[in-house]
Structure 1
Amino acid sequence: MLTIDHNDTLTAARTGTLALPHGTIEVPAFMPVGTNGTVKAISHAAVDNMGYRLILGNTYHLYLRPGKEVFETYGGLHAFSSWPHNILTDSGGFQVFSLAPFRKIRDEGVRFRSHIDGSYHHLTPESVVEFQRTLGSDIMMCLDECTPPEISYKKAIEACRRTTAWAKRSKVRWDIEREAGFEGKLFGIIQGNFFKDLRKISSEEIIELDFPGIAIGGLSVGEPKETFEEYLAYTSQFLPSEKPRYLMGIGTPDYIFAAVENGIDLFDCVFATRTARNGTVFTKDGMINLKKAGHALDKGPIEEGCTCQACTRYSRGYMRHLFKAGELFGPMLATEHNLQFLYDLMVEIRHSIREDRFSSFKKNFLDRYVKKGN
């Protein structure tokens, strides 16, 4: 599944290719988030044209709407959404975590109330695998229990124990689907909250189950950046080098560099598209808010050299006008720019790793990005 072509000489960063049912992708790679079967404010064709070959879909939201019957009728999420490349689907565990007032977690699974219509539903490790098979996921995730920072050690132990138990049940169900011809890959998820002994235990237990890939969960959930970096480095040291590694929920340059430095191959986040819809865009000099009055007369592009439509055809002044006038075209252009920015960044990162200059590239990029940010 994973072929490593180069390991950085100074860090754990690496480059390679990931063979999936809908084609091969280069790693490390950022995945745009398509929560409801679409990346918000941009067409799949535009995402495809940038070069993205793996996007993310959200099991929780797709389960509630449009539902399993629709995907069975269409033959999966690829056909339903007209996306010809790979799709990774999460387990819905994070949404269960973030909708705490609406759910109850027990050993058998999760009972939750829909945020859409208030109806009650029950997810189990087995049903989550079955639904992701119905979606036709190229990479699917086990149901896990994600926990917030600062919970008690006792609660963290219980969540860690339950995550492992659910992982075992998920793998049994996935093996049944594989025997029936399903080609999607199942990733186990490491938890353990912010307790190093639990992180180590969870890593050992999940790795022992021999999943095709491993995900690190429970990071970037509101903890300080220093804590994130500490626990990322601590957890990633346990991961087997021959399997793909996925860090969930990160998507800004500083966090991306930290992930790559620790040997992470895949990551995703809604940040790029969400901030774009609010008028905030990436540049090499930091993030800028296009709504600011200082851009009103600026005839230059968002970023010199960027190949997105916003930068090749329009000015910062025009972009500001679109947002101030409430035109939908503004968020669409900004979304395209932010995704192009991250795609180009990943290309540069992979080049720097292959040329054994990742550390200097990271320093130079972040010195400019952080210090000059607006």
Structure 2
Amino acid sequence: MRLHRLDITAFGPFGGTQQIDFDELSAAGLFLLHGPTGAGKTSVLDAVCYALYGAVPGARQSGQGLTLRSDHAAPHTRTEIRLELTVAGRRLEITRQPPWERPKKRGAGTTTDKAQSWLREYDTSAGAWKDLSRSHQEIGEEITQLLGMSREQFCQVVLLPQGDFARFLRADAEARGKLLGRLFDTHRFAEVEKRLAERRRATEAEVRDGDAALLEDAHRMHQAADDSMPLPDLAPGDPGLADAVMSWAAIARSTARERLTIAHCARTAAESARAAAERVLDDVRERARLQRRFAEARERAALLEERADAHRAAQKRMERSRKAEAVAPALDLREAAETEQRRAAADEARARA
């Protein structure tokens, strides 16, 4: 937000019309409002706040327009605040007139005029001011949306009322924190902090559960490996537990791999020894088989030697039988001839008889 010009009429200590050119004041950078008490320094800031939000800061807003009117103003001069500013890239002009108890035009006494507000925007393409609204509510909503602050926030952040700064400096840390929270609207940050704290607690619970599961796995590994290397003396949730367990597991894994390599070598050596033993066993078995066959052969040879005489006698008998078999037909013929001869002799004897 950048202020350009402020016109004050019959407001606060100013009985007439006062114009403040902020562009000229801020041409060199920062500027200072100074003067004796009652000169109207605070009234200038009140006028800016009233032009923006239709109310002044702090307790001075009680009574609204009746207390804002200058006691030095002429009876027929109406209180008016006109502020020209640039906000969010738009050049606006806000004019506000608080309620006014003026003399009646006819007769004696006074009458009260309602508060009036105007909002205009400078159209650069047309080079002229364009009316936007005359509604107090619409103007208030538009300014609040453009500035991003309500009147209370604007007064707390931009226009720190008199006495509040001194009270802020004298306040303790807790009160100062609460005031700063109101000044800068840290409620959303508190909500974010609360959410982060809840997420931290949930994450810590997850970490503890994960650490517990990790320790259980580590204990099972320790029991299975029967390793003399002690586990890290840490509890679930302790810082560095995961790294310590992973380091222990890495060492245990390296040791197990070394043992596995040694076991593989031992198994290979055992397999080689077993193969050599099997070859020796096969040779021994073959020698034993041959020895059994040799012993059996010797037994059979001895048995044959014992039966050699009977074998030779049998062979002689067989030879005689073979020879007798050759003359067997002749013997048969002889027997047949003898039989025939005996029959013929008998026949002869019967014939002679």
Q: Tell me the TM-score normalized by structure 2.
A: 0.25
Greater Rg, structure 1 or structure 2? 2
Q: Which has more helix, going by share of residues?
A: 2
Larger relative CO (CA 8 A, sep 6+): 1 or 2? 1
